[in-house]
Amino acid sequence: MVEANTQGPRHAPMRPAAAVDALLLHSMRDPASVVRLSLTALDAVLHAARQHTVLGRLGHDLAALGVLAELPPAARQVLANAHIRARANAIALRFEVDRARRALAPLGTKVVLLKGAAYQHAGMALARGRLSVDLDILVPAGDIGRAERRLIDSGWQPGVIDRYDQHYYRDWMHEIPPLLHPERKIELDVHHTIFPPISGIRIDAATLLAEAVPLADGLFMLAPADMVLHAATHMFHENPAGRLRDLLDLHDLLTQFAATPGFWDSLLERARRHGLGRPLHYALRYTTRMLGTAVPDAVVQRAAAAFAPDGVRGRLMDWLMRVSLVGHIPGQQDRGFALASSLLFVRYHWIKMPPGVLGGHFLTKTVRRMREARAR
């Protein structure tokens, strides 16, 4: 239990899930406000931050502001533990990146780090306090078979052996089946593009690779505009329910690149080129509305004019985001969240697959689950 802290006024206790999650969102936008919370609210925010995997980030920001000492000792210990866990995770991810780099070096192919590995390797601000459960890399489609063989020869093992799942990944998706090292347990996802080709969205993967930015050790990361679009696609062309951390990633990316000359024009142009205008529109809309991200009004308006859905679908998406991202704590029952999450789950698959393929996919998965249930 968190002990009393008598320094400064505190808010009244926050009990409903929606109120706690809204308070967490406010705490991530304004970390200094955490020191004014009541003990009950502070406990709830720290719990929600852990559930949303942003506890390490919150602790880092509080330390940077110099206000950790104003929190009760138990709260400081919770944040210190999160810091230790994040550092250990960063070391493990860095080691996994090095092992993958060494395994693929003889191929002479370009290896592009994605998401958390890229943020960490580039020393970007959004790597602070971050927990990663996998390593994502991008290689040219023509080299992906050789890359897979090299990685398997170096100790990684296929995590998918079912014939249908092999077909699902190799023929329809943007990556090979996940690989897992039996000792280190960090999943390795090897991509050849950033969204499933079967979706009909034609990502310009050649440009992604050609304009990737060099990092240390011969590795690369995506160009700034492509990095934002990948993060936006990962969130809004999938299921954004409960993914506050991903929205914070977008906030950090947009904030970091905002001062780069030509960034905003490049972002809009790349969105058109890759067919990713809709997730960019949502990224700009919800980061500015929910996190106060400093995006020029003209950019938000240009993206909305070019890529926004019609009024009904736009209002529905606003409700889905409000209920599923801000109105829920992972692990707690919430009927509104359950409905929104289900609708977003269906939406994700509808975007990802043509109707005919999607129907067969759901049928196959349903039959498999029924067989597994009977076998138990």
Sketch the domain layout of the chain as residue ranges: 12-71, 95-222, 223-366
- pTM tops 0.85: yes
Sign of CA dihedral 184, 157, 192, 277: negative
Q: Smallest Cα–Cα separation from 250: which of 321, 316, 186?
A: 321
Domain 95-222 part of CATH 2.160.20: no
Write out the two tokens for 259.
Answer: 């001062």
Q: What is the rounded end-to-end Cα distance, in angstroms, of the chain? A: 40
Instruction: Using DSSP bridges, classify how beta strands 187-191 and 179-180 pair: parallel, antiparallel or unpaired.
Output: antiparallel
Query: Which amino acid appears at position 282 of this protein?
Result: Y
DSSP classification of residue 175: B
Please list the pLDDT of the chain residue by residue as tens digits (376 residues). Answer: 343 333 333 433 434 556 777 888 999 999 999 999 999 999 999 998 998 999 999 999 999 999 999 999 999 999 999 999 999 999 999 999 999 999 999 999 999 999 999 999 999 999 999 999 899 999 999 999 999 999 999 999 998 778 888 888 999 999 999 999 998 888 999 999 999 999 999 999 999 999 999 999 999 999 999 999 999 999 999 989 889 999 999 999 999 999 999 999 999 999 999 999 999 999 999 999 999 999 999 999 999 999 999 989 999 999 999 888 865 555 555 678 888 888 998 999 999 998 888 888 888 888 888 877 787 7
138 strand-pairing partners? 112, 191
SS3 213: strand
DSSP classification of residue 332: S
Distance CA 58, CA 310 (A): 36
Task: List the alpha helices (DSSP H) in 37-158.
Answer: 39-51, 55-65, 73-104, 115-121, 144-153
The pLDDT, as a whole number, for residue 6 is 33
